[in-house]
């Protein structure tokens, strides 16, 4: 019935897209003018309209679709009459959403206009190791580095962010992150909301601390490095607890937990159910009805909430761990078009654990302020694992600590075989393609993994905890494909 378009926009949505996240000029807490946001009542949840990141389609040059991105210093208005120094990409906070298509060759060109080196990693993208944008692909000030590859994956919502050794957490905290939407022919035929910024809405959820001068405060103590640096101010797409005006219909949210170390338990203030339709790297085979969805740092979820009968109502998207609001939803408009959520979304290729040729074990641990995987900290000069191409493997990951972690593998997806010793412990909304998995204290998971397409015995990929302070403190390793 449908062709994925991302082009039918209302006048108001088009205006927001043109400005993107960067030019939000009044993202603060109403008329209070204060940066004391430690309490729930500290911010006006109706403070400003939700900024929608600009959607970039790129420019085709010599058969390659190019995306030209500037990594830069900026100032951003989180609070009325105050400006905050930030890092950003083509904007004043965060970066544009990149629209990629399966099968197309792309070149994402990052020019570093910062006064320091950085990198830019395509989180969730299936690409060659030397195009991964990890710690080895350093972009020095004034340099342009290009991630060039052919898109080879199912429809999904990914993201890009810095990955400089020891500086990832700080650079992301200052504002360097953006979304990547991958589209392909199968998903384009589904009757899903697809009007970007209208009924298909990206949400980058973060928490931040600000000092008395409204400046971003990234100053973790040794304990906060171990526990993760948690902010007291909730930010959505670069705005503090904004609102969005919606049509009375099915609305799709593409949600990224873009925080450094917070785990969110997301749901709506009226406890209405919604359907999760996608995990990190693909659509689920069928929608999963939920009242809450848990996302740890780096994880994504696409959800569809039915607001057809909610005209005139207001509700909030909240984190029920902290009981704080990320976004106010105002259902003020009649639907321009209606959609009907399909009950069959895709078919996922699955590997039989009995065919696994190798089992690898990874233990997340810490001692005396040091964070480790398998008893060692990250060393740029050490290859920890050599993974044969096209080999089905089991990766067992154990959190041996009394604090939360997660585990991310670069350039591939995996599926969960067991959680804490049983397949019965795998939630229905985890039965899809993942690249990041949450691990509660003492949790143990078994993953099935297969590296394909790209063999490179000299350029490594990463695996690591995606709590960014943990990653920077050494909870990361390297593997090559052979």
Q: Read off the pLDDT of residues 115-154 as tens digits, 9 standing for 90 and up.
A: 999 999 999 999 999 999 999 999 999 999 999 999 999 9
Same domain as 228, residue 179: no
Q: How many domains does the chain have?
A: 3
The share of the chain scoring above pLDDT 70, in percent, equals 90
Residue ranges of the alpha helices (H) in 192-272?
A: 222-227
Same domain as 129, residue 22: yes
343 lies in some domain: no
Same domain as 51, residue 144: yes
Same domain as 157, residue 24: yes
Contacts of 246 (CB under 8 A, 6+ apart): 199, 307, 329, 330, 331, 332, 333
DSSP string covering 302-362, please? EEEEE-TT-TT-EEEEEETTTTEEEEEEEEEE--SS-----S---------GGG--EEEEE
Closest CA to 27 of 9, 52, 49, 60: 49
Is residue 429 over pLDDT 80?
A: yes
Same domain as 305, residue 165: no
328 and 241 in contact (C-beta within 8 Å)?
A: yes
pLDDT digits (tens, 9 = 90+) for 195-218: 999 999 999 999 999 999 999 999
List 76's β-bridge partners, or say none.
84
The residue out of 152, 185, 218 marking a domain boundary is 185
Rg of the chain, C-alpha, whole Å: 21
Contacts of 422 (CB under 8 A, 6+ apart): none
Is residue 100 over pLDDT 50?
A: yes
Closest CA to 128 of 414, 413, 412: 412
Strand pairing report for 264-268 and 314-319: antiparallel
Three-state secondary structure call for residue 174: helix
Q: What is this structure's pTM?
A: 0.92
DSSP string covering 217-229, please? -----HHHHHH--
Q: Phi and psi (nearest 5°) for 105? A: -85, 130
How many helices (H) and strands (E) are present in the chain, helices listed first? Answer: 5, 32
Q: Phi and psi (nearest 5°) for 183? A: -115, 150
The residue out of 134, 151, 185 marking a domain boundary is 185
Same domain as 176, residue 45: yes
Where in the sequence is the domain holding 359, given as residue range(s)?
353-481
C-alpha 168 chain-centroid distance: 14
- Residue 186 CA neighbour count, 13 Å, CB half: 15
What is the structure's pLDDT at 21? 62
Tokens 């990914």 correspond to what residue?
Answer: 158
pLDDT digits (tens, 9 = 90+) for 105-121: 999 999 999 999 999 99
258 lies in some domain: yes
- Euclidean distance between CA atoms 192 and 221, whole angstroms: 45
3 lies in some domain: no
309 lies in some domain: yes
- Euclidean distance between CA atoms 333 and 316, whole angstroms: 17
pLDDT digits (tens, 9 = 90+) for 459-471: 999 999 999 999 9
């Amino acid at each position: 019935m449908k062709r994925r378009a991302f082009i039918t926009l209302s006048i108001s949505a088009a205006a927001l897209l043109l400005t993107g996240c960067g030019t939000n000029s009044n993202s603060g807490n109403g008329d209070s003018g204060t940066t004391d946001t430690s309490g729930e009542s500290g911010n006006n949840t109706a403070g400003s309209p939700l900024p929608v990141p600009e959607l970039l389609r790129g420019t085709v040059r010599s058969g390659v679709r190019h995306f030209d991105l500037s990594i830069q210093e900026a100032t951003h208005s989180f609070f009325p009459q105050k400006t905050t120094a930030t890092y950003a990409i083509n904007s004043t906070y965060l970066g544009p959403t990149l629209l990629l298509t399966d099968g197309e060759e792309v070149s994402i060109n990052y020019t570093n206009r910062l006064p320091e080196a950085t990198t830019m990693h395509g989180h969730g993208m299936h690409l060659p190791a030397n195009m991964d944008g990890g710690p080895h692909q350093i972009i020095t000030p004034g340099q342009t580095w290009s991630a060039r590859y052919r898109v080879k994956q199912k429809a999904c919502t990914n993201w890009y962010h810095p990955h400089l050794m020891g500086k990832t957490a700080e650079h992301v905290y200052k504002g360097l992150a953006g979304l990547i939407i991958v589209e392909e022919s199968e998903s384009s035929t589904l009757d899903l909301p697809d009007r970007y910024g209208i009924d298909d809405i990206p949400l980058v959820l973060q928490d931040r601390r600000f000092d008395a001068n409204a400046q971003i405060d990234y100053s973790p103590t040794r304990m906060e490095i171990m526990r993760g640096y948690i902010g007291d101010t909730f930010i959505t797409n670069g705005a503090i607890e904004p609102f969005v005006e919606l049509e009375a219909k099915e609305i799709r949210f593409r949600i990224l937990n873009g925080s450094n170390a917070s785990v969110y338990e997301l749901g709506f203030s009226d406890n209405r159910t919604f359907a999760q339709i996608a995990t990190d790297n693909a659509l689920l085979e069928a929608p999963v009805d939920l009242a809450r969805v848990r996302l740890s740092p780096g994880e994504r979820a696409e959800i569809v909430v039915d607001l057809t009968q909610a005209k005139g109502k207001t509700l909030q998207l909240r984190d029920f761990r902290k009981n704080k609001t990320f976004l106010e939803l105002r259902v003020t408009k009649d639907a321009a078009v209606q959609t009907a959520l399909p009950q069959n979304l895709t078919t996922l290729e699955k590997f039989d654990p009995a065919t696994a040729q190798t089992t690898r074990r990874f233990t997340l641990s810490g001692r005396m302020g040091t964070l480790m995987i398998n008893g060692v900290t990250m060393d740029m000069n050490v290859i920890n694992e050599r993974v044969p191409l096209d080999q089905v493997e089991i990766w067992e990951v154990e959190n041996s600590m009394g604090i939360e972690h997660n585990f991310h593998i670069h350039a591939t997806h995996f599926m969960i075989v067991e959680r804490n010793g049983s397949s019965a412990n795998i939630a229905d909304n985890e039965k899809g393609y993942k690249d990041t998995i949450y691990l509660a204290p003492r949790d143990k998971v078994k993953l099935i993994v297969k590296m394909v397409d790209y063999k490179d015995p000299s350029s490594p990929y990463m695996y690591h905890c995606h709590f960014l302070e943990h990653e920077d403190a050494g909870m990361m390793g390297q593997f090559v494909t052979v």
